[in-house]
């Protein structure tokens, strides 16, 4: 064991985080992550999951997972390239490609993995990546795995992107240039300006890469942000996750057949991390089938989102630029944000505070995630708690 003094930086920094209200305590759930959850023996209206469509507890998905687990076991036994590719993985990838309207799709153990995999498999030394400053942490880390020049552009600022794309192209310094954006920004709920991004990309010959973790299952009739804007066939790589609206776990890259073949040959998580377990794959297949059969769950999700957002706005809260079910309630100061969340908790509402470094300093917020499974009674309980706590903290009048 190393001498304890080597770890004193941890003790000091943890104390500092706690003093500044930036330390996140994690409380385990004693129930499924549904619209109502149990923690510490109490039940709460849950406004913090990504289980948008309630599929994490859907009977049809559970049955599919159980059947596949009985048939294939709990684990897949190997990485994809040795013998961890089951017929189920191929079926899932074919379904995902059809769902997204692309030639092919490649599944990975997580959405985070996809960004580790795809960015570094495609971009290298002598290339440049234009990246929105609010892109997800997994995109930032994926970019770090390349030796490419990373050029950040101001959030959704299309003039800035256009200028930087032109400069990068005209410099003649880069072999390939890629533009990367979240489809839906997870902390604010705003949608990327994809029509302009694609237009700029076509002007300056950029590879387009959209991480649609929060758009898939939610926008474009479920197919995501690219479909929402009618841009199918004009985006090179689309990342999706199987862990949010799809309700299970895993991620995928939807792309051309050539890119998929390359990812299967070269992307490191595909080669070096054990493939998704059979139960998760079968449940994901069932979810994609459901999403293609009916839009009822999506409609219910959007109805609930409007109900909650209208209610919060009527109370006087500021929700920022959201255009999706993601419902941030902006508080600002980090400590006050944490206090707000703790007071909601006392009222039986679980809505997590999101503070620096997940979001910029001074923009602390309670991020509410309505789902299709919430009843209006649950949302009314949440709104009543928001009114009480908002008044007590002097955030609303
Ligand atoms: C959640 C998220 C991921 C990670 O997906 P997981 O499947 O949870 O690993 C990647 N990108 C974005 C934009 C996300 O919101």
Distance between CA atoms of 252 and 258, rounded to whole angstroms? 15
Give the per-residue pLDDT at 46: 98
The architecture (CATH level 2) of 28-56+295-392 comes to: Alpha-Beta Complex (3.90)
Q: Average pLDDT in the 91-117 region?
A: 97
User: What tokens appear for 304 in the block?
Assistant: 């609930």
Question: What sign has the CA pseudo-torsion 46, 372, 279, 138?
Answer: negative
Element (H, E) at 105: strand 104-108
Q: What sign has the CA pseudo-torsion 245, 248, 249, 253?
A: negative
CA-to-CA distance for 355 and 23, rounded, in angstroms?
Answer: 9
Per-residue pLDDT of 329-385, as tens digits, reads 999 998 899 999 999 999 999 999 998 888 888 999 999 999 999 999 999 999 999
Nearest 5°: CA angle at 140, between 190 and 168? 90
User: How many Cα atoms are found within 13 Å in the side-chain-facing hemisphere of 69?
Assistant: 10
The pTM is what? 0.96
Three-state DSSP at 73 gives coil
Report residues whose beta carbon is within 6 angstroms of any ligand 1 atom.
110-112, 136, 138, 182, 186, 211, 213-214, 241, 243, 251
Q: Which pLDDT score is estimated for 383?
A: 98
Query: In a mutational test of the pocket of ligand 1, which residue from 141, 155, 186 has the highest number of ligand atoms less than 8 Å from its CB?
Result: 186
Q: Give the model's pLDDT for residue 4.
A: 87
- For the record, the structure tokens of 14 come out as 């943890």
Query: Can the peptide bond before residue 357 be classed as cis, meaning omega within 30 degrees of 0?
Result: yes
Per-residue pLDDT tens digits for 106-159:
999 999 999 999 999 999 999 999 999 999 999 999 999 999 999 999 999 999
> Would you give the end-to-end CA distance of the chain in angstroms?
56
d(CA 348, CA 354): 18
Ligand 1, from 51, 251, 369: best to mutate by most atoms within 8 Å of Cβ?
Answer: 251
Lowest-pLDDT range, 158-167, 189-198, 388-397?
Answer: 388-397
| DSSP assigned state of 34 | S
What is the band of 397 on the pLDDT scale with cuts at 50, 70, 90? confident
C-alpha 210/C-alpha 232 separation (Å) is 12
User: Domain 58-293 classified CATH 3.30.360.10?
Assistant: no
- CB-based contacts of 102: which residues, under 8 Å, 6+ apart? 238, 254, 255, 256
Strand-pair partners of 366: 329, 353
Q: How far, in Å, from the CA of 218 to the mean position of ligand 1?
A: 14
Residues carrying an active site annotation: 186, 214, 244
Please give the pLDDT value at position 360. Answer: 87
Q: Rounded mean pLDDT of the chain?
A: 96
Q: Looking at ligand 1, which residue's alpha carbon is closest to its atom 1?
A: 213
Span 301-318, average pLDDT? 97
pLDDT at 180: 98
Domain ranges in the chain are: 28-56+295-392, 58-293
* pLDDT at residue 316, rounded to an integer: 96
């Amino acid at each position: 064991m190393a001498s304890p003094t080597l770890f004193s930086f941890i003790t000091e920094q943890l104390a500092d985080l706690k003093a500044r209200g930036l330390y996140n305590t994690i409380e385990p759930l004693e129930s499924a992550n549904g619209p109502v959850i149990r923690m510490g023996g109490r039940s709460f209206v849950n406004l913090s999951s990504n289980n948008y469509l309630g599929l994490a507890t859907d009977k049809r998905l559970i049955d599919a997972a159980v059947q596949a687990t009985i048939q294939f076991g709990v684990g897949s036994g190997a990485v994809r390239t040795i013998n961890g590719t089951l017929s189920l993985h191929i079926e899932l990838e074919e379904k995902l490609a059809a769902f997204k309207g692309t030639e092919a799709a490649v599944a990975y153990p997580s959405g985070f993995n996809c960004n580790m995999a795809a960015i570094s498999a495609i971009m290298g030394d002598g290339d440049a990546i234009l990246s929105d400053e609010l892109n997800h942490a997994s995109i930032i880390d994926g970019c770090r795995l390349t030796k490419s020049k990373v050029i950040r552009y101001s959030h959704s600022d299309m003039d800035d992107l256009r200028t930087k794309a032109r400069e990068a192209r005209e410099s003649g310094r880069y072999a390939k240039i890629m533009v990367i954006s979240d489809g839906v920004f997870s902390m604010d709920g705003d949608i990327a300006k994809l029509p302009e991004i694609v237009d700029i990309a076509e002007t300056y010959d950029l590879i387009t890469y959209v991480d649609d973790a929060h758009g898939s299952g939610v926008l474009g009739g479920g197919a995501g942000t690219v479909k929402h804007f009618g841009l199918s066939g004009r985006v090179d790589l689309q990342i999706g996750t199987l862990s949010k609206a799809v309700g299970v776990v895993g991620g995928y890259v939807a792309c051309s057949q050539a890119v998929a073949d390359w990812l299967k040959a070269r992307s490191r998580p595909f080669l070096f991390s054990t493939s998704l377990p059979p139960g998760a794959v079968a449940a994901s297949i069932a979810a994609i089938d459901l999403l293609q059969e009916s839009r009822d769950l999506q409609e219910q999700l959007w109805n609930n989102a409007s109900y909650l957002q209208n209610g919060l706005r009527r109370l006087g809260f500021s929700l920022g630029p959201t255009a999706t079910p993601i419902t941030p309630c902006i508080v600002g100061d980090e400590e006050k944000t944490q206090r707000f969340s703790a007071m909601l908790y006392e009222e039986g509402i679980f809505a997590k505070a999101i503070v620096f470094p997940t979001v910029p300093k001074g923009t602390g917020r309670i991020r509410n995630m309505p789902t299709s499974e919430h009843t209006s009674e649950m949302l009314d309980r949440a709104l009543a708690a928001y009114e009480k706590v908002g008044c007590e903290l002097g955030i609303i009048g």
